[in-house]
Structure 1
Amino acid sequence: MGSVAVLMNPTAGRGRHAHLRDQVARVLGADAEVLAVRTTEEAEAACRAAVAGGARAVISVGGDGTLHRAVQAVAGTGVPLGIVPAGTGNDVAACLGVPADPRAALESAAAALRSGQTRDFDLARLERDGVVRWSVGVTGLGFDTLVNELANRMRFPRGPRRYDVAIVLELARMRPRRYRITVDGVAEELDAVLVAVGNTARYGGGMRICPAADPTDGLLDLVLAGPVSRFTLMRIKPQVYAGTHVAHPAVRQLRGRVMTVECDGITSYADGEQSLPLPVTFTAVPGALRVLG
Structure 2
Amino acid sequence: MLAVTADDLPSGAGPAGPPSADPDRPLAVLVNPTAGRARHSGRLPDVLDRLATAGRPLRLLDAATPEQALARCRAAVADGIAGLVAVGGDGTVHQALQAVAGTGVPFGPVPAGTGNDFAADTGFPTDPLAAADTIAAALRDGRTSPVDLARMTTADSNVRWFGAVLAAGFDAVVNERANRMRWPRGPRRYDIAIMIELARLRPRRYRLVLDGTERYVDAVLVAVGNCASYGGGMRMCPAADPTDGLLDVVVVGPVSRTTLVRVKPRLYSGTHVTHPMVRTHRAATVELAADGIVGYADGERAGPLPVTVTAVPAAARLLR
Name the TM-score, length of structure 1 as normaliser: 0.95
Counterparts of residues 2-151 of structure 1 (less than 5 Å): 2-29=25-52, 31-128=57-154, 129-151=156-178
Asked if structure 2 preserves the Cα contact closer than 8 Å seen for 1:222 and 1:253, the reply is: yes
DSSP-derived class of the 1:38 partner: coil
Q: Any gaps of 5 or more consecutive residues in structure 1?
A: none
Asked if structure 2 preserves the Cα contact closer than 8 Å seen for 1:51 and 1:79, the reply is: yes
TM-fit CA distance, 1:46: 0.4
- Who is 2:258 aligned against? 231
TM-fit CA distance, 1:148: 2.4
DSSP-derived class of the 2:187 partner: coil
CA distance in 1 between counterparts of 2:252 and 2:315 reads 29
Instruction: Quickly say closer, same or farther: Cα 1:62–1:212, change in 2 above 3 A.
Output: same
CA RMSD of aligned residues (A): 1.6
Q: Any gaps of 5 or more consecutive residues in structure 2?
A: 1-21
CA-to-partner distance for each residue in 1:263-285, whole Å, 9 max, x for gaps?
11111100000013111000000
Asked if structure 2 preserves the Cα contact closer than 8 Å seen for 1:24 and 1:32, the reply is: no
Alignment of 1:266 with 2:293, yes or no, is yes
Greater Rg by CA:
2
Asked if structure 1 preserves the Cα contact closer than 8 Å seen for 2:169 and 2:293, the reply is: yes
Runs of 4+ in 1 over 6 A off after TM superposition: none
CA distance in 2 between counterparts of 1:76 and 1:113 reads 19
Equivalent of 2:187, from 157, 168, 188?
A: 157
CA distance in 1 between counterparts of 2:33 and 2:173 reads 26
CA distance in 1 between counterparts of 2:291 and 2:70 reads 28
Name the TM-score, length of structure 2 as normaliser: 0.87
Instruction: Name the amino acid aligned to 2:34.
Output: T
DSSP-derived class of the 2:41 partner: coil
- Who is 1:205 aligned against? 232
CA distance in 2 between counterparts of 1:236 and 1:32 reads 45
CA distance in 2 between counterparts of 1:269 and 1:255 reads 20
Instruction: Quickly say closer, same or farther: Cα 1:166–1:203, change in 2 above 3 A.
Output: farther
* Identity, % of aligned positions: 59
CA distance in 2 between counterparts of 1:198 and 1:164 reads 24
Asked if structure 2 preserves the Cα contact closer than 8 Å seen for 1:163 and 1:204, the reply is: no
Alignment of 1:191 with 2:218, yes or no, is yes
CA-to-partner distance for each residue in 1:80-133, whole Å, 9 max, x for gaps?
111100001211111111100001111111111111111111010000232110
CA distance in 2 between counterparts of 1:244 and 1:14 reads 30
